[in-house]
Chains A and B, each alone.
Chain A
Amino acid sequence: MAGEPAGALMRFSCVGRLTQPSRNLSTEKPLSTKKGTFNMGFNPLHERGIPLERQMRNWSELNVTPYDTRSVHPYTRCRVIFMNGIEVESIINSHNFARHTADVGVKQKLAMVRRAEQQQQKAVNWLIPGDESTLARTIGYEQVAVDLTSWLARQEPDPYLKKVYEFALLEDFDHLYRYANLMDLMGEGRLAQDITGDYTEILPGRPTIFQHRDPHEELNRPMTLTAASPQSVMNAITITAAEQQTMNFYMNVGNIPEHPLARAMYLEIAQIEEQHVSHYESILDPTLGWLTNLVLHEYNECWLYWSCMQTEVDSRIKALWELHLNMEIEHLRVACEMLRDVDGIEAESFLPADGLPEPLTFEPNKEYVRDVLQRTIEWTSWDSQFVPITDLPADHRYFDYQRKVNAGGVPTEQVISQHREKHGGEYRFATEGDHPVASLRENGPHDQLSYWQVETKMARELEGVR
C-alpha cells in the first residue's frame, strides 16, 4: 500500500483529465462487506506514507472532474459528501488546536499538515458537480446520515452508545422523508429515489416536530479513551464530523432557496443538526490532551480513507481515496511524533495493536432501520437518558421548549400537508412493505402515536389553565 508513495501521487495527478465512465445503477452494487470478506486488520502505524513535503498539488490537480450527478453510484456520492465532512473536521480541529498552543514548533507542524488537509478537502468536495442542486445534495447528505449512523450503530459494541446512535438515526431518517417531499413539491424534476437509488427507504421517522428539545437533553455520557473499545472511539469521531458538516451545510445553504417553505424547512432542520452535533460530541472523551486528540483524528482519517478505498466502485475516485490514505499515514506519523516529543506519550499505548478489522461501509440498512423504528419511535431524551415520551412529567422543560419553537406553525409538517394538497398524497419510497409503525403509515391512525397523544393532552391542559 505504501510501497511507492510517489507513484501513488503520480497516478492520481492526472485524475482531473480522466473522463467519467457511464454507469448503470441497476447492476452496480457496493462491494460485499459481510464479516470475513475484509478480515485483514489495517494498521496505519505500520505503513509508510507520502512525505509531507511532497504532498502539495497544483490547482489543476485539485480541480478534479466532478462525478456525473445522473450516473454516479449513490454510495459514491455518499462517500464524497462524507469524506468532505471528515476533512473539514480535521481542519477545524487543527485550527482550534493552533489557537490553544504557544509552542511554535507544534504550530508549524500543524500548519504544514493543515495545508495538505485543505488540499484534500478541495479535491474531495470538488468531485460534487455544479449541476447537482442544493436539494439533491441535501438528499445525499441525509442518505449519508441514515446509512452511516445505521452502520455505526450496528457495529457499536457499547450498549449505551448504541442507543445514542439509534436515537438520532430515526431523526435523520425523518429529515430524508421531509426533504424528499420538499424536493418533489418544488418541482425539481427529479425524485429523491433518483438520488438514493433503491438502497435507502424514504419514510417517516420520529417526526421532526417532536425532535425539538431543550439543549440539556443533548448532553450524553462520554466514553473514556482508556476503557472504551477502539471501535467506539472511531465511531464517535466519525459521526461527530459527519453531523457537523450537515449542520454547517444547512447553516450556509439554507437561505439559498427562494421559496419561503424551503427556507423555513432548512432552518428548522438546521437546528436539529445543531442538536445532533451536541448529542454526538458529548460522547467523546473530554479529558484528552490536544495531541492525543490530534492522533485520534489522523488515525480516524486513515481508517476512513482505507474504508472508502476498500468499498469504492468508481476506479477513478478509488484512486483518490488511495492517494489520500497515503497522505494521511504521514499525517498520523507526524502527529504521533509530536505526541512522543511533547507529551512523552506513545500512540501505541492507546491505539489498537492489531489495527481496525472492519472497513466502514455504505450499504443498505433497511431491515435494521425498520427494527429501530419499531423499538424506539416513541423515545425522547432526558439529560443523558433515553425514555418513552410518556415518562416525562407534565412540567418537563421539553413541553415548554416545544410550545416556544412550534408556536406559529412547523415547516416540516407544512411540507407534508402541502404535498398532500398538491399531489393527493405524500412522497414515500418503500421497498420492504408497510411502515413498521402503524401510526406512521400514510393512512394510518396518526393520532395513536404517543407523541401526538401527549402533546394534545398538554395543549388541552394548558388551555384549561388559561
Chain B
Amino acid sequence: MAGTLKHTLDKVTDTVGGTAGKMNASSVTSSDTFVENAAIGNRYEIEAARIALQRSRSEPIKLFAQKMVLDHTTAKHQMSSALEMRETKGVAMPPQSLDSRRESMLKHLAEAPDDSFDSAYLDQQVLAHEETETLMRTYAHSGDNSQLRSVALGTLPVVQRHLRDAKMMKEQRAA
C-alpha cells in the first residue's frame, strides 16, 4: 500500500516537473541554456534506458531502450562536435552531471515496483521527449547560434519519432 502510494506520488512529481520543463524549453533561445538542457536530456535518456534494459521484461520496451542509448549517444556526440567548431566559440561547455529533477526521475524509475516499471518508464519517456521536442523545435526556429540551430534541426525529427513511438507503446499497453 505504502509502495503504491509512493509510486503514485513519484509519478505526480515527474509529471509536474516534466510539464514545467516543457514550459521552460519553449523559451530557450540562448546557446548556453540550449546546450545545458540538451546535454542533460541526453544523459538522462541514456541512463533511463540502461535501467529499462536491466528491469523491463518487455521485448518492445527493451528494443526501444536500446534505440534510446544509441540515438542519444549520437546526439551527445553531435553536440560535442558542434562545440569543437569555430561557429560555437564562446559557448559554455555542457554540465557533466544531471540536474536534481532528472536525478529524481531516475531514482523514481529505479524504485518503481516491478509490475509497474514499464508504465513508469513509458510515462517518463513521453514527458521527457515532449520536453526535448519542444526544446529542439524552439531552438531550431529561434536559437541565437546557427551551428546549434543546425544541431536542433537535425535532432528534432529523431526526437519526434521517439515521442511517437513512446506514445504508441503507452497506448498499446493501456488498451
Q: Decide if A and B are genuine partners.
A: yes
Q: What residues make up the interface of A, taking CB atoms closer than 8 Å to B?
A: 157-161, 163, 216, 220-224, 226-229, 285-287, 382-385
Question: Which residues of the partner chain B approach A159 to less than 8 Å between Cβ atoms?
Answer: 84-86
Question: Which residues of the partner chain B approach A222 to less than 8 Å between Cβ atoms?
Answer: 150, 154
Beta-carbon contact of B84 and A383 below 8 Å: no
Known contacts A224-B147, A226-B146, A383-B74: A158-B81 contact under CB 8 Å: no
B4 within 8 A of A: no
Question: Which residues of the partner chain B approach A226 to less than 8 Å between Cβ atoms?
Answer: 146
- Contact count band on B: 10 to 19
- B74's contact among A160, A161, A163, A216, by CB below 8 Å, is which? A216
Q: Could you pull out 21 A-B pairs where Cβ atoms are within 8 angstroms?
A: A158-B85, A158-B86, A159-B86, A160-B81, A160-B86, A220-B81, A221-B81, A221-B85, A224-B87, A224-B149, A227-B87, A227-B147, A228-B86, A228-B87, A285-B150, A287-B153, A383-B74, A383-B78, A384-B74, A384-B78, A384-B81
**How far does the alpha carbon of A182 sit from the alpha carbon of B80 in the complex, in Å?**
40
Minimum distance in angstroms from B150 CB to a CB of chain A: 5
A-B residue pairs, 10 tightest by C-beta = A221-B81, A383-B77, A160-B84, A227-B87, A384-B81, A224-B146, A227-B146, A158-B86, A385-B77, A160-B85
**How far does the alpha carbon of A285 sit from the alpha carbon of B153 in the complex, in Å?**
12
Question: Which residues of the partner chain A approach B160 to less than 8 Å between Cβ atoms?
Answer: none
Name the residue of chain A whose CB is nearest to the CB of B77: A383
Beta-carbon contact of B81 and A385 below 8 Å: yes
Beta-carbon contact of A221 and B86 below 8 Å: no
8 extra interface residue pairs, beta carbon distance < 8 Å, beyond A224-B146, A224-B149, A384-B78: A159-B85, A160-B86, A216-B74, A223-B85, A224-B87, A229-B86, A287-B153, A383-B74
**How far does the alpha carbon of A396 sit from the alpha carbon of B145 in the complex, in Å?**
33
Known contacts A216-B74, A383-B73, A383-B77: A287-B85 contact under CB 8 Å: no
Question: Which residues of the partner chain B approach A287 to less than 8 Å between Cβ atoms?
Answer: 150, 153
B51 within 8 A of A: no
Centre residue among A163, A216, A226, A385 by max chain B CB count within 10 A? A385
Question: Which residues of the partner chain B approach A223 to less than 8 Å between Cβ atoms?
Answer: 85, 87, 147
